[in-house]
């Protein structure tokens, strides 16, 4: 066997080995890479508030996000990013020790670019910035409509069909009101 045949055989073996690695990588990363949605919390309140952030994947109700914060006046928090999947996102602000709370919920989609949670003494506001939709059409702006007929849930994502508001008073776990 001459040197040329040995080198050719070694080259073919190396290429065959690399193609196996490439196939394995292709299988592992099949589909598209999942993006992230930045999340900011801004307090415009005069006192501190405890908040809970939760997200559940649409269809499976698998919890994808669960974070709790105590936000002080005029503080801005950069929370860990959300996964860029279709999911239900809920923010709960605990008003006082009696168990009063304010909640806001919205559906996030993969084209969501930024979620901003604004905390005031009187309210809890979610600002949702969406990018280009899958069909190439821009989504509506995230600014709330003007006037009293505006979005009562204070979720401004341009799509009022997926917003709900709950203001509830619940007793503590020990049964006291």
CATH of the domain at 76: 2.60.40
Containing domain of residue 8, as a range? 1-31
Would you say residue 53 lies in a domain? yes
* CA distances for 54 relative to 29, 66, 70, angstroms: 27, 5, 15
In terms of domains, do 27 and 92 share one? no
The closest alpha carbon to 89, from 79, 98, 100, belongs to 79
Which residues in the chain come in under a pLDDT of 70? 1, 22-34, 133-177
How many whole angstroms separate alpha carbon 59 and alpha carbon 95?
Answer: 31
Q: What is the pLDDT of residue 30?
A: 55
Q: How many structural domains compose the chain?
A: 2
Q: What is the pLDDT of residue 3?
A: 83
Average pLDDT, the chain: 77
Q: What is the pLDDT of residue 140?
A: 47
In terms of domains, do 20 and 5 share one? yes
Please give, one letter per residue, the 3-state secondary structure of 109-121: CCCEEEEEEEECC
In terms of domains, do 69 and 143 share one? yes
């Amino acid at each position: 066997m001459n040197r040329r045949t040995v080198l050719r055989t070694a080259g073919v073996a190396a290429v065959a080995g690399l193609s196996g690695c490439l196939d394995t990588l292709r299988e592992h990363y099949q589909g598209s890479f999942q993006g992230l949605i930045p999340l900011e919390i801004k307090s415009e309140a005069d006192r501190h508030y405890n908040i809970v952030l939760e997200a559940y994947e649409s269809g499976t109700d698998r919890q994808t996000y669960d974070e709790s914060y105590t936000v002080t006046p005029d503080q801005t928090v950069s929370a860990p990013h959300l996964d860029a999947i279709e999911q239900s996102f809920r923010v709960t602000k605990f008003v006082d020790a009696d168990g009063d709370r304010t909640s806001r919920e919205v559906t996030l989609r993969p084209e969501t670019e930024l979620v901003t949670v604004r905390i005031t003494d009187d309210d809890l506001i979610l600002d949702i910035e969406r990018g280009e939709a899958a069909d190439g059409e821009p989504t509506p702006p995230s600014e709330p409509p003007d006037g009293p007929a505006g979005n009562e849930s204070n979720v401004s994502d341009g799509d009022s069909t997926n917003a709900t508001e709950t203001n509830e008073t619940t007793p503590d776990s020990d049964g006291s009101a």
